[in-house]
Amino acid sequence: MKNLLKLLSPFAPDQSGAVSVIYELGGLIVICDAGGCAGNVCGFDEPRWFTKKSAIFSAGLRDMDAILGRDDKLIAKLKTASSQVKCDFTALIGTPVPAVIATDFRALKNMAQKSIGLPCLTVEANGTAYYDEGEESAYLELFKDFAVETRETDDSLAGVIGVTPLEFSRIDANTEIESTIKQYGFSKVVCYGMGSTLEDVKNSSAAKINYVVSPSAITAAEYLNKKFGTPYEIISPYIPDSVTDENEYKDCKKILVIHQQISANGVRNIIEKISSAQVDVASWFMMKKELMRSGDFKLTDEEQLIKRVSKAGYDCVIADNNITRALRGYKCKKVDYIHFAVSGRMEK
Amino acid sequence: MMSKAFYMAARNLSDSGLDNVPDEFVSSKHLIYSSPATLAFNSPGAQGFGVKRAGLAVPGSVMLLVAPGCCGRNTTMLSEMGGYSDRFFYLLLDDTDIVTGRHLTKIPEAVKEVCEACEKKPSAVMICITCVDALLGTDMERVCRKSTDYADVPVVPCYMYALTREGRLPPMAAVRRSVYSLLTPTKRKSNAVNILGHFAPLFDNCEIYPLLKSAGIADIREISRCESYEEYLKMSQANFNLVVNQESRYAADFFEKELGIPSIEITRMYRIDKISNQYRLLGQTIGEELDDKKYYNETAEIINDFKNKFGKLSFSIGEISNADPFELALSLVEYGFDVDEIFGTVGAVNFNYIRKLAELSPNTKIYSNTSPTMLYYNDEDCNPDIVIGKDAMYYHQSKPAVAWSSESQPFGYAGVKALFGEMSSALKNNRTAGEI
């Protein structure tokens, strides 16, 4: 049955992706839920939560709030909290509850800005989509709301969009990626949302180029290109050594890499240099047509994964162990490629 | 702009009265701060027993979570725990489902497929539904009956309705009812008793077992000690239930109405005089004297030894522990210790403890973990000698600490003895919160 998971467990949802983009930017973030979604985001999908404080709150919605659509009560709570907590902006993140009652986030945004006098960023997540869609919306809203001023181009500055722990399974992913990009000749590298500030976002029009490292970042990069003329380039700057060991693949003829598309493409590029195997890429998440090759495909459900892998006869699957669990009846080499958004595991 | 965490001294909070406590102590009146200290509030399933794990208390059962993917996300963590990886299944809702409720028609077929995927046919399929179905007004009892007929397996609803957390029937009370709902009337045995309240057993060395045996009770059952479905079904033989957690009152109602089994409620406490009194009253109710002198004396001696060894210690007490933080604080104050601060949720039941604390320790600071101002909690404002509870540990990483949140449950004298034993060990070895 479609949408029935018998071997896999659910992946990080859109609200987690949205929060991961704005976590470090000094906002007062409200997850519009009854509590469970905030608990999931913080307790499971946001590894920085244990080491880096962020003003994340649950709206604490109760049944009558939802039934009666008490938006004014939510705004009143937000106003009180903004008087108690230092913040540069507020953010309202959707979950299934506002989705079911059709909350008007545009109206909420206006009400919040009028009442509090601070910018309010909204992401209409609904908990049924994956993290990458939440990230995509959050990046776009972030740049639309805060990158409003055209600043003089700084040739030494490169922007990076798409770095989150959900994508790269490391709490220090930004430092690793920054040092790689500095080798391209930039003295200043900013990973928006990780190791950076809201001021960096406001200054994004000064970047000479934006590097896109996750599919969720493409829309925002296109927006910045259109608004400020900043060019962008899609790159895969970080691949863990554990998935590029030549010895692993010397006897393989057909390999499938499952991850977020840009990283998976990066793994393919490396393997193709060290092996003659045919390498295909698949993802549960965004698969941009322009980045796909013949043989690549989007994963939609557990049964389809099993069927596609057996039919194609892959002799090696590179994917998070939580995904290869679904292939336990299929005999092939399985290489663990940790994806935090899938299993909640970190590389280190 | 407030730059300090909000608190009230016990005396002031008591003076305000339960009906006039400040908004910071009323979770429905403010945003809920999401910190590691509030994980158990926002996401009970993330640690210990939440609805999902609790629903699997029925031996041999499996769970089908019918919800948007986000509701099952932290179950990935549960699946990695021993024994759970093959017991969780998910029917994920898409955006059309959550508006139209069309997913309900798929559930019987999904239950059937789940049963077919199991190596051994499950004893029951627990259907866990969430806020979406709460808002859609789903009649899950009807869907479960239909699924039972279609898949030929008992199907039971579990309501993970976070939206009703402070309502008449909170999710953790509802799931306590769900896990007993498969019991049917059977011949009662006068020497059989159930203990209701938790999803893990009381401490093996809890005196309640020998005390009940001394009163002629041969079969003492707890759902977590039932190794098979057949053993679980024998819970309907009980002469009466002992309810050790108020959240089981709704389950006790079920036993009374559907199985004719009455219940006696007893409470976990840390004041040994009160524990003794409770056993005396329990004995009177069941018509047998429960001789607890030995346990009382042993416990009193342990407390005295601890006091002699460590002196007048000061405590920070959290609510993420196997205790009511206010009752525990009151106990420690009555034993002669200082309690500098308490992190707790103020309610009708524990307000009585706050009143007594106000008399004995009026300056004890009381914080609400969920207040947004807790973002600014500064551990330098309090210098306790030892902390109890996972939340207090989060705030005082460098202090000797006892998490006091094991799955097996402390109760009675055995709980008090174990707590003092753990505190003694933490202080002796300087085992700090950060190390735990």
pLDDT in tens, chain B (436 residues): 667 999 999 999 999 999 999 999 998 899 999 888 877 766 665 566 788 889 999 999 999 999 999 999 888 767 666 678 889 999 999 999 988 999 999 999 999 999 999 999 999 999 999 999 999 999 999 999 999 999 999 999 999 988 887 777 889 999 999 999 999 999 999 999 999 999 999 999 999 999 999 999 999 999 999 999 999 999 999 999 999 999 999 999 999 999 999 999 999 999 999 999 999 999 999 999 999 999 999 999 999 999 999 999 999 999 999 999 999 999 999 999 999 999 999 999 899 999 999 999 999 999 999 999 999 999 999 999 999 999 999 999 999 999 999 999 999 999 999 999 999 999 999 999 888 8
Q: Which pLDDT score, from 0 to 100, does residue A50 have?
A: 87
Between A110 and B73, the higher pLDDT residue: A110
Q: How confident is the model at residue A106 (pLDDT cuts 50, 70, 90)?
A: very high
What's the mean pLDDT in A305-316?
96
- d(CA B47, CA B405) in angstroms, rounded, equals 10
Confidence check on the interface: ipTM exceeds 0.85, yes or no = yes
| Dihedral angle of Cα B126, B132, B138, B142, to the nearest 10 degrees | -20
Check: CB of residue A343 under 8 Å from CB of residue B76: yes
CA angle B304, B305, B311 (to 5 degrees): 80
**CB-closest option in B35, B98, B375 to A96:** B98
Q: Please report the residues numbered 8 through 37 in chain A whose beta carbons come closer than 8 angstroms to any beta carbon of chain B.
A: 8-16, 30-31, 33-37
Could you give phi then psi for residue B96, rounded to 5 degrees?
Answer: -70, -40
Phi, psi of A266 (to 5 degrees): -60, -40
Cross-strand pairs, B421: none
The identity of residue A271, as a single letter, is I
When the pLDDT of each residue in chain A is averaged and rounded to a whole number, the result is: 96
Nearest to B162 by CA among B324, B351, B28, B347: B28
Residue A193 region, left (φ>0) first, then alpha (ψ -120 to 50), else beta?
left
Across the interface, whether the CB atoms of A63 and B161 are under 8 A apart is answered yes
* B162 contacts on A by Cβ (under 8 Å): 33-36
Residues B76, A85: C-beta atoms closer than 8 Å: no
Whether A300 contacts chain B with CB within 8 A: no
In angstroms, the CA A315 to CA B173 distance is 50
Q: How far is CA A329 from CA A310, B121, B325, in A?
A: 10, 20, 50
Determine the pLDDT at residue B37: 80
Q: Sheet of A207-212: strands edge to edge? A: A188-191, A154-161, A207-212, A232-234
Burial A252-285, CB ≥16 within 10 A → b, else e: bebbbbbbbbbbbbbbbebbeeebebebbbbbbb
Chain A residues with CB inside 8 Å of B97's CB?
128
Whole-model pTM above 0.90?
Answer: yes
The confidence score (pLDDT) of residue B80 equals 67
A87 neighbors A123 (Cβ within 8 angstroms): no
Chain B residues touching residue A95 (CB < 8 angstroms):
70
The whole-angstrom separation of Cα B329 and Cα B366 is 11
Give the closest of B29, B34, B131 to A96, CB-based.
B131
Cα(A186)–Cα(B140) distance, integer angstroms: 59
φ/ψ region of B48 (left if φ > 0, alpha if ψ in -120 to 50, else beta) reads left
> Chain B neighbours among A 75-104 (CB < 8 Å)?
77-78, 80-81, 83-86, 95-97, 99-101
Dig out the tokens for B322 from the structure: 């196997």
How many Å apart are CA B434 and CA B436, to the nearest integer? 6
Other CB atoms within 10 Å distance of the CB of residue B81: 9
What pLDDT score does A92 carry? 98
Q: Which of A 96-155 lie inside 8 A of B, CB atoms?
A: 96-97, 99-101, 126-130
The pLDDT assigned to B241 comes to 98
Is beta strand B386-388 parallel, antiparallel or unpaired with respect to B338-343? Answer: unpaired
What integer pLDDT is reported at residue B143 of this predicted model? 97
Q: Find the closest chain A residue to B166 by CA distance.
A: A62
State pLDDT tens for residues A181-220: 999 999 999 999 999 999 999 999 999 999 999 999 999 9
Whether residue B163 and residue A84 make contact (CB cut-off 8 A), yes or no, is: no
Residue A196 sits at the vertex; the CA angle it makes with A192 and A197, to the nearest 5 degrees, is 100
Structure tokens at B221: 């059952």
